[in-house]
């Protein structure tokens, strides 16, 4: 597999054997011509010695080297070079010691070579004075066949790293494409949820408007029935309010001053309708900052107070409404008296059900709604972070 990475599929086991045979023939002739300079008839022993050392390192130690290269370990490589040098020294000493049994021509190159390694005995080969003469031969003779193998492993490792980086890049690209598809799906889902939410809000808003209109027209009908002079003014206020419902509430949020003006007009209609028969207290502060609010968020609470207070019973009926804003927090309080001995108004509760749903949709985790249903009163306290 590794061979195919470098050479391709043509590098079959048969081709590999042929290449190795040619390679070792070249190494053999290199050693032969190297030791031929020493002269003598016994240089074959030195050639065989070198072949034995290099083949043992080539086919055993090089396997370890490839593992260390893959793991990028430097220290084991240094230790391997030191042990290889010791291995070469030992084999060279025993080969030269074997040659001492033969009659070598004194003064010849091979005689000097043998004398260099054997003159001080076995432990003499480790003397520092012999290192400058022995180590260069080791590097030249042993590294000659090992270097191509080492270069091959380096190339293989380099190619493997390139393949790994390529595969990693392809995986990253696939991951990015998958994340992009996931993001697009989430975006589509978010758009769908937004459209559904918008549709739901429009439905809730459309439910509020007819409810308010029904109550107000009922009030105007009663005024007209009594022949009250305030009827035209009441109709004008209703016209302004309807204009507000038709045009202003289409916005996602509006300036709270417009919503307050709408509530004031509505409360004026309530005051005209009930006159002085009930106690109505309105305390809506003027807001200086340009805060915004979702339209028609507050009206259902006032409608509910009127429905369960004055409309249910005029006896001891009262309604208190207050609105303040402090540090961006709107506080809206609506309280009304309840005569629980009187007949209950028709059930429906469209307004309060819708406003609770709208609060959850538009001000989730940013509002607090407290409702107190006491013996003779009903109080709503709403706080919204604008």
367 pLDDT above the threshold of 90: yes
Q: Averaged over 247-274, what is the pLDDT?
A: 80
Instruction: Give the pairing type, strands 318-326 and 367-373.
Output: unpaired
Confidence of residue 265 (pLDDT cuts 50, 70, 90): confident
Q: Averaged over 233-241, what is the pLDDT?
A: 81
* Structure-model confidence comparison of residues 311 and 323, the more confident one: 323
How large is the greatest C-alpha to C-alpha distance in the chain, in angstroms?
151
221 pLDDT above the threshold of 90: no
What is the structure's pLDDT at 161? 67
Per-residue exposure over 325-360, b if at least 16 CB sit within 10 Å of its own CB, e if not: beeeebebbbbbbbbeeeeeeeeeeebbebbeebbe
The region of weakest confidence among 247-256, 275-284, 310-319, 329-338 is: 247-256
Q: Which of 68-82, 183-197, 273-287 has the highest mean pLDDT?
A: 273-287
Sign of the four-CA dihedral 85, 91, 97, 103: negative
Task: For residue 17, give both structure tokens.
Answer: 């054997």
pTM: 0.47
Instruction: Give the pairing type, strands 292-293 and 377-385.
Output: unpaired
Q: Are 283 and 330 in contact (CB under 8 A)?
A: no
What is the structure's pLDDT at 197? 58
1 pLDDT above the threshold of 60: no
Confidence of residue 315 (pLDDT cuts 50, 70, 90): confident
What is the structure's pLDDT at 4? 45
* Structure-model confidence comparison of residues 16 and 235, the more confident one: 235
Which segments of the chain does DSSP mark as H helices, in order? 2-7, 13-36, 43-56, 62-71, 75-99, 109-118, 131-226, 231-243, 256-274, 299-308, 350-362
24 pLDDT above the threshold of 70: yes
What is the structure's pLDDT at 200? 52
Place of tokens 């927090």: 329
* Structure-model confidence comparison of residues 172 and 70, the more confident one: 172
Q: Are 260 and 323 in contact (CB under 8 A)?
A: yes
Name the DSSP letter for residue 177.
H
Confidence of residue 2 (pLDDT cuts 50, 70, 90): very low
Distance separating alpha carbons of residues 39 and 111, to the nearest angstrom: 9
What is the structure's pLDDT at 45? 86
368 pLDDT above the threshold of 60: yes
Distance separating alpha carbons of residues 222 and 232, to the nearest angstrom: 13
Distance separating alpha carbons of residues 260 and 263, to the nearest angstrom: 5
Task: For residue 329, give both structure tokens.
Answer: 């927090």
Helix (H, G, I), strand (E, B) or coil at 112: helix
Q: What burial class does residue 140 get, using C-beta atoms within 10 Å of its C-beta: 0-12 exposed, 13-18 middle, 19+ buried?
A: exposed
Distance separating alpha carbons of residues 30 and 17, to the nearest angstrom: 20
Q: Averaged over 240-254, what is the pLDDT?
A: 74
Mean pLDDT score of the chain, rounded to an integer? 78
5 pLDDT above the threshold of 50: no
- Name 220's Cβ contacts closer than 8 Å, sequence gap at least 6: 231, 234, 235, 238
Place of tokens 């540090």: 327
> In whole angstroms, how far apart are CA 175 and each of 171, 179, 353?
6, 6, 46
Q: Are 344 and 352 in contact (CB under 8 A)?
A: no
What is the structure's pLDDT at 3? 47
pLDDT over 90 percentage in the chain: 6
């Amino acid at each position: 597999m590794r061979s195919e990475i470098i050479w391709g599929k043509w590098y079959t086991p048969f081709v590999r054997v042929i290449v190795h045979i040619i390679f070792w023939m070249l190494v053999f002739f290199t050693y032969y011509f190297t030791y031929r300079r020493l002269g003598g008839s016994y240089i074959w022993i030195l050639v065989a010695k070198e072949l034995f050392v290099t083949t043992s390192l080539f086919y055993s130690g090089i396997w370890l080297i490839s593992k260390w290269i893959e793991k990028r370990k430097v220290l084991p490589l240094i230790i391997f070079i030191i042990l290889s040098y010791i291995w070469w020294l030992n084999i060279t000493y025993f080969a030269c010691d074997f040659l001492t049994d033969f009659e070598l021509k004194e003064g010849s190159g091979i005689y000097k070579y043998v004398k260099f390694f054997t003159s001080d005995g076995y432990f003499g080969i480790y003397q520092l004075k012999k290192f400058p003469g022995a180590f260069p031969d080791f590097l030249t003779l042993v590294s000659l066949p090992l270097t191509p193998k080492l270069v091959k492993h380096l190339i293989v490792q380099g190619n493997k790293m390139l393949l790994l980086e390529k595969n990693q890049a392809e995986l990253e690209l696939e991951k990015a494409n998958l994340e992009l598809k996931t993001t697009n799906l989430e975006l589509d889902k978010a758009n769908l949820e937004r459209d559904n939410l918008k549709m739901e809000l429009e439905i809730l808003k459309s439910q509020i408007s007819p409810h308010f209109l029904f109550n107000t027209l009922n009030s105007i009908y009663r005024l007209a029935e009594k022949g009250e002079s305030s009827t035209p003014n009441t109709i004008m206020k209703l016209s302004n309010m309807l204009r507000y419902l038709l045009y202003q509430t289409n916005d996602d949020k509006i300036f709270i001053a417009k919503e307050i003006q709408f509530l004031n007009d509505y409360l004026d209609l309530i005051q005209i309708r009930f006159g002085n028969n009930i106690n109505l207290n309105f305390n809506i502060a003027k807001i200086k900052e340009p805060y915004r609010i979702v339209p028609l968020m507050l009206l259902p609470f006032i409608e509910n107070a009127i429905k369960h207070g004055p409309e249910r019973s005029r006896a001891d009926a009262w309604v208190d409404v207050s609105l303040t804003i402090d540090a961006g927090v709107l506080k809206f309080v609506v309280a009304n008296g309840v005569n629980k001995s009187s007949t209950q108004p028709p059930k429906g509760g469209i307004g309060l059900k819708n406003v609770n749903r709208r609060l959850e949709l538009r001000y989730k985790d940013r509002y607090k709604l407290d409702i107190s249903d006491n013996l003779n009163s009903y109080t709503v306290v709403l706080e919204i972070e604008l």
